[in-house]
């Protein structure tokens, strides 16, 4: 399956069932297409999804959330507040909330920076649906 490809996705969900049933996910990404695709994938997999267009919006969503999120999927490079700073601030107020980073930068030590900021895991773009689901399940203890 191609990274975040929706080819054969509905048929697989019908045969296997949603793998993220009831998981509350906050997705932060400044790319509207990526945000839409992530939301679609996660909702189809059974997750409840809230979206944010940058790190500041993600931080504000965590601060005001009436029902706590189970996981944040955070793009690293965004305007207003990047994913690293947003993760540091989220970890300061919700120490146990796992943040999964997503980055296209494989070579510059970006993954190390993400982990140092407090991210529980990092996905390197492009990544597939199964890896996204497996990562969310692992960091939320549903694996």
Assess if residue 115 is contained within a domain. yes
Give the residue among 40, 31, 79 at the shortest CA–CA distance from 57: 79
Coil/strand/helix, residue 101: strand
Q: Cβ(25)–Cβ(71) under 8 Å?
A: yes
Helical axes 9-16 vs 32-44, angle rounded to 10°: 30
- 3-state DSSP assignment of residue 120: coil
What is the band of 126 on the pLDDT scale with cuts at 50, 70, 90? Answer: confident
Residues 86 and 117: beta-carbon distance below 8 Å:
no
Q: Between 99 and 142, whose confidence is greater? A: 99
Instruction: State the Cα–Cα distance between residues 61 and 38, nearest whole angstrom.
Output: 17
The count of structural domains within the chain is: 1
pLDDT in tens, 31-83: 999 999 999 999 999 999 999 999 999 999 999 986 689 999 999 999 999 99
Please report whether residue 3 resides in a domain: no
- Cβ neighbours for 12, distance < 8 A, ≥ 6 positions apart: none
What range defines the domain where residue 93 resides?
9-13+20-139
| Residue 34 forms part of a structural domain | yes
């Amino acid at each position: 399956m191609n990274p975040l490809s929706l080819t054969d996705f509905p048929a697989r969900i019908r045969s296997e069932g949603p793998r993220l049933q009831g998981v509350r996910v906050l997705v932060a990404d400044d790319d509207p297409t990526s945000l839409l695709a992530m939301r679609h994938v996660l909702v189809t997999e059974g997750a409840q999804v809230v979206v944010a267009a940058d790190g500041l919006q993600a931080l504000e969503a965590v601060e005001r959330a009436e029902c706590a999120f189970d996981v944040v999927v955070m793009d690293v490079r965004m305007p207003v507040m990047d994913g690293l700073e947003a993760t540091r601030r989220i970890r300061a107020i919700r120490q146990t909330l796992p943040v999964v980073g997503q980055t296209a930068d494989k070579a510059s030590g970006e993954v190390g920076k993400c982990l140092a900021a407090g991210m529980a895991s990092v996905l390197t773009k492009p990544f597939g649906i199964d890896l996204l689901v497996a990562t969310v399940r692992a960091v939320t203890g549903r694996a």
